[in-house]
Amino acid sequence: MQRKVIIAGGGTGGHIFPAIAIANALKKLQPNINILFVGATGKMEMEKVPQAGYPIEGLEIAGFNRSNLLKNILLPFKIWKSLRRAKAILQNFQPDVVVGVGGYASFPILNRAQKMGIPTLIQEQNSFAGKANKILGRKAKKICVAYDGMEQFFPADKLVLTGNPVRNNISQSAVTREDALRQFGLSPLKQTIFAVGGSLGAKSINEGLAPLLSAMVDKDIQLIWQTGKPYFETAKAAAARYESHIKVHDFINVMDFAYKAADVVVSRAGALAIAELCVVKKPVIFVPYPFAAEDHQTSNAMNLVNKKAGLIIKDSEVSAQLGNVLFSLVQNKALMEQLENHIGKLGNPNADMVIAKQVLEII
C-alpha cells in the first residue's frame, strides 16, 4: 500500500535542507512513498524542493514583521486564506501523516491536519520552541527534538531526542583537507578560517571581518568568506589586495569543502549550522542573530557554550571583540582541540533516518 506524507515548512535553508534530508530518508525506507511538500510562495523552498526532485504546493503566508508593523495589516487575511488553502491541499492529497519542520507554512497545514484527525509530527530544530510549535505540540503525535530539556515546551511523553538532520554531502563527505583547500585556491600549509552568516550572509560578521583582513595576512592566516549577496561587492573590494589569502564568495554550494578546509569557523547559530558543525567537528565562534524569534539562536549557542563546545560573541560586540577572540583561538591549540572534542560528541549524522522511522511509526 502506498503511503502518503506531507512535509510542511521552509522559509530559509535552515528549514528546507533538513526537510529534504527527511524526505530522502523516507524514500530509502519506503521507495514507493508519495511525498508532497508545502511551502510559502516566494520563499526559497519553491525553488530548492523541485531541484531535489519533489513536488511542492505554495501557501500565501508570511510571518509577523517585527521591524515594520504596517506590513502586518494584511496578515490576518493571509492566515485565513492559507488555512483555507491548507484544508484544500489536505482534502486533495489525503496524507497518512503530516510533518512540520518549522517556518511559515508549517502552522496552517499542521493546524488543519490536526482538526481533520490526521496524525502530525513536529521536527523542532531549536533549543527554544516558538509559539506556533508550542500550540501544535499539544495535539502532535510525536515531537522530534535536537536538544535536551525540551519538556519545558512540550509534553514529555511525546519527545524523541533525534538531533537535527544534516545534508548527506556533509555528513558523508569523503573530501580531504588538501582537496578542500585546493578547491578554494588556498595553501594546505597555512591555517584557515571559514566565516559564514547563513544563506543570506550576516551584517555584523561581515563588518567585523573587514578591518581584520590585513592582520590576517600579516599572521599568514587564510580566510574563506561567505558574505551573502548584499555585502559581496564591498567584501570583494576590501579583499582585492589580499587575493592569495582571502577568498570571497556570496554563496558557497560546496559546504563540505568549506568545512573541511577550515581550522576555525565563525558562524551564526541557526539550528542547521549547529547540526552541521557538530557533525564536521570544528572549533567555532558563534555570533547569534539577535532578531531571531524568541532569540532562539542565542539559546542554541549557549547550549553548546555551556558544554565547552563553542565560543560566543554577542552580535553588538563583534566589531570590538572578533579580532581578539579569533586570533587568540587560532593560536591556542589546546582550546581548539577541546572545542573539537566536545562539539563532536553532540553530532548525530543519522538524524534523518531516526526521524523518518518515527514518521513511519505514526502512520
- Cell 502512520 maps to which residue? 363
pLDDT in tens, 124-147: 999 999 888 999 999 999 999 999
Question: Strands (DSSP E) along 49-185, which ranges?
Answer: 56-59, 97-100, 120-124, 142-145, 159-161
pLDDT at 209: 97
**Chain Cα centroid distance, residue 273:** 5
Question: What CA–CA distance (Å, rounded) separates 210 from 237?
Answer: 10
pLDDT in tens, 98-130: 999 988 899 999 999 999 999 999 999 999 998
Q: Is the pLDDT of residue 277 over 80?
A: yes
In the DSSP assignment, the letter for residue 228 is -
Question: What CA–CA distance (Å, rounded) separates 278 from 276?
Answer: 5
Structural contact between residues 112 and 15, judged by C-beta atoms closer than 8 angstroms: no
Question: What CA–CA distance (Å, rounded) separates 124 from 200?
Answer: 22
Question: Strands (DSSP E) along 125-167, which ranges?
Answer: 142-145, 159-161
Question: What CA–CA distance (Å, rounded) separates 158 from 155?
Answer: 6
**Chain Cα centroid distance, residue 265:** 15
- Helix and strand tally (H, E) in the chain? 16, 13
Determine which of 7-16, 159-168, 174-183, 189-198 has the lowest per-residue pLDDT on average.
7-16
Phi, psi (rounded to 5 degrees) for 286: -85, 140
pLDDT at 131: 87
- For CATH 3.40.50.2000, the residue range(s) in the chain are 4-164+349-362, 170-344
pLDDT in tens, 245-254: 999 999 998 9
Mean pLDDT of 149-154: 96
In the DSSP assignment, the letter for residue 360 is H
- The span from the first CA to the last CA of the chain, in angstroms, equals 12
Strand partners, 300: none
pLDDT in tens, 202-261: 999 999 999 999 999 999 999 999 999 999 999 999 999 999 999 999 999 899 999 999
Q: What percent of the chain has pLDDT over 70?
A: 98
pLDDT at 221: 98
Question: Strands (DSSP E) along the chain, which ranges?
Answer: 4-8, 34-40, 56-59, 97-100, 120-124, 142-145, 159-161, 192-196, 222-226, 246-249, 264-267, 284-286, 311-312
Structural contact between residues 96 and 361, judged by C-beta atoms closer than 8 angstroms: no
- Cell 521507495 maps to which residue? 31
Strand partners, 259: none
Count of C-beta atoms within a 10 Å radius of residue 104:
25
In the DSSP assignment, the letter for residue 210 is G
pLDDT in tens, 310-323: 999 999 999 999 99
68's grid cell: 515594520
The reply to whether the predicted model has a pTM over 0.75 is yes
| Fold that domain 4-164+349-362 belongs to in CATH | Rossmann fold (3.40.50)
In the DSSP assignment, the letter for residue 203 is H
289's grid cell: 542573530
Structural contact between residues 56 and 38, judged by C-beta atoms closer than 8 angstroms: yes
pLDDT at 14: 81
Structural contact between residues 359 and 140, judged by C-beta atoms closer than 8 angstroms: no
Question: What CA–CA distance (Å, rounded) separates 48 from 44?
Answer: 6
| Fold that domain 170-344 belongs to in CATH | Rossmann fold (3.40.50)
pLDDT in tens, 51-105: 999 999 999 987 766 677 777 788 788 889 999 999 999 999 999 999 999 888 9
- Cell 515546551 maps to which residue? 153
Phi, psi (rounded to 5 degrees) for 121: -130, 135
